[in-house]
Structure 1
Amino acid sequence: MYQRGRKPWLAAMLLAMAVLAGCSSTNRAPVEDRGAGTARADPATLPGAENAGKPGFYTVRPGDTIMKIATEVNQPWRDIVRWNNLDNPNVIEVGQVLRVVPPVGTAVASAAPVTDVPRGAAPAPGKPPVPVATQTTPGTAPAPAPAAPTTPPTAGADNVDFIWPASGPLIAGFDEAKNKGLGIAGKAGDPVLAAAEGKVVYAGAGLRGYGNLIILKHNNTFLTAYAHNQTLLVKEDQSVKKGQKIAEMGSTDADRVKLHFEIRRSGKPVDPARYLPAR
């Protein structure tokens, strides 16, 4: 089974996601919860307090991590760290206000491979999540990240023709508040297929609650996530074809053998049932 160092901007995401987490490898490192602390400081004394509520800024909530925030706002987590001069991206406080759009005249970093990722995070779920490199020009005010649409996209350059990633029965539906994807039952070792052609931007166990996880980037708009696998059969930066076997179903960080499958559109979870063909 494959496991390697963490890759970059998977704000991808990675769950993803703040959603995405354990590998069955004997080399597995423990996951630490290094997100926003539970102790509440006076918000007025926290970094960035003067920007609270302004467009392009994000106020840290309980349970947030840099990767989770990056996934929600569709920006590379490393850029958010840089824009806010964070010495340790694993340490943020509830009520702290972070810049989540580039300062005027600042380019967003491209998705260059890196080997370190904040502990306790993958995006994503993010996201991992996965923004595209953009740039603002001097004199142009940066706009906040767009909100996810409530309806499936119409045909276009970024439209994706998805297939079901597993053949088992559906045991859990999408719930925006409680379940960011679908639960598909099966037996340990059943094949998990790539729902569409894409590139592996995450393969590992770095996001608690998701077990052995794979995240695929399909284009500038869509990501898919495949959680709780028994075995991962692909590695980061690998290109995969639609229908290719990428993992074997398992029960890592789950109460039973199942596949948790997510589709993320512009970093936001959407109901996969609205994008998948009828069975």
Structure 2
Amino acid sequence: MDLDVHLDTEQLAQRLAGVGGVVGVCLGGSRARGTHRPDSDYDFGLYYRGRPDTAALRALAKELTGAEVDVTEPGAWGPWVDGGAWLTVGGARVDWLYRDVDRVSRLWEDCREGRYEIGTQPGHPLGVYSHSYPGELATGRILADPTGELTVLQGDMAHYPAALRKALVDAARWEPDFVLAGAAKGAARGDSFYVAGCLFRAVGVLAQALHAQAGSWPVNEKGIIAAAGELPCAPPDFAARAHALFTTHDLKAAAELTEDVLTRCA
């Protein structure tokens, strides 16, 4: 059964936008891209300034679900996944995800200057790439924007920054080779844990470079390899070759894949 019938996204977004501190609401993830399954979550980005009125959010969550819901304060889930709530509304899974709009704006300026950082966050083994914050808004569907601020910011993001593209591709020119050299030493010691970690990091950097070359915004690790393999700049069979590395631990194949990606990104 298609769970879409259980949720009026526009109405919910308007109610969320009426909460103190909330600047606007943006639908993200597969629902925004149109690639969702019937059971996919609804990811609502709650863009706020200062501090959102979490008491009002708790009251709204209770009204929607009929039960007490743990609605966090900002920062409760870690430095990057800011906080929010997990709800079930009419049978649909609904995630409220806080996003500090001033932080998003600042990170967008970093993108334009070719700067990014990688933050540690539970649930993100590759790390949170800071440009994923602007990427969420760039690829999201704005549902409520009373002041028009999100719409203006999203419009600025219409063109992928050339400086960010260069920075991510440049990282792929040295980091995969560096970590694969370390993996070879680990393999000689029989340290399969370290080898697997090095392969994961190398492939993740290559995927980021391919997305940058194509002007595409990956917002996390989930599905990033399959998505990279569908980009026009990807080497043939990129996804299959990348995934195979985690069963074979073939460092020679990893080096060949790296070379093929760099050739495509030249």
| TM-score when normalising by structure 2 | 0.30
Greater share of strand = 1
Larger Rg: 2
Greater share of helix = 2
Structure number with higher relative contact order (C-alpha < 8 Å, ≥ 6 residues apart):
1
| TM-score when normalising by structure 1 | 0.29
